Amino acid sequence: MGSCVVDASVGIKLFLDEDGSDAAHRLFAELTADPPSRFYVPDLFFIECGNILWKYVRHFGYATDNARQDILALQALRLQTVSTADLLRPAFELAVQYDLTAYDACYAALAQQLSLPLLTADAPLIRKLANSDVETFAPT
């Protein structure tokens, strides 16, 4: 795989059994390959994943202890983290230009800044960025 920016819609699939979870597990296994892939995330990735886990505990009966273990595993991933403060201005411009949330625009801005593709399971985000210079793809 090499290097890419990964968003929370892909990262959460490591912990919740969803469509694309098998592909996410294969991709994230590359973080420990030789040579390892490098996955970049804005620091909000962790809060977004935490919020999704909270939602599953609160609304779907996901066990709190499982979510706690997932959070520990999430923190242990070898991800290259970039501060959202460093992405704020380019993210805002992308959000305005392509009708993105500020959250999604942070991932797009990071991909643009690093000249890397954005790996996302968010089909609407892929559609919105189709005419941009941000390369997107979904896990397969």
Where exactly are the structural domains of the chain?
3-137
Q: Are residues 79 and 41 in contact, defined by beta-carbon separation less than 8 angstroms?
A: yes
Tens of pLDDT, residues 65-85: 999 999 999 999 999 999 999
Instruction: Give the DSSP H/E element, type plus range, for residue 46.
Output: helix 44-60
State yes or no: pLDDT of 120 exceeds 90. yes
**CATH topology assigned to domain 3-137:** Rossmann fold (3.40.50)
User: Tell me, what's the pLDDT at 54?
Assistant: 98
39-51 pLDDT tens trace: 999 999 999 999 9
Would you tell me how many other CB atoms lie within 10 Å of the CB of residue 47?
Answer: 13
Burial 50-63 (b: 16+ CB within 10 A, else e): bebbeebbeeeebe
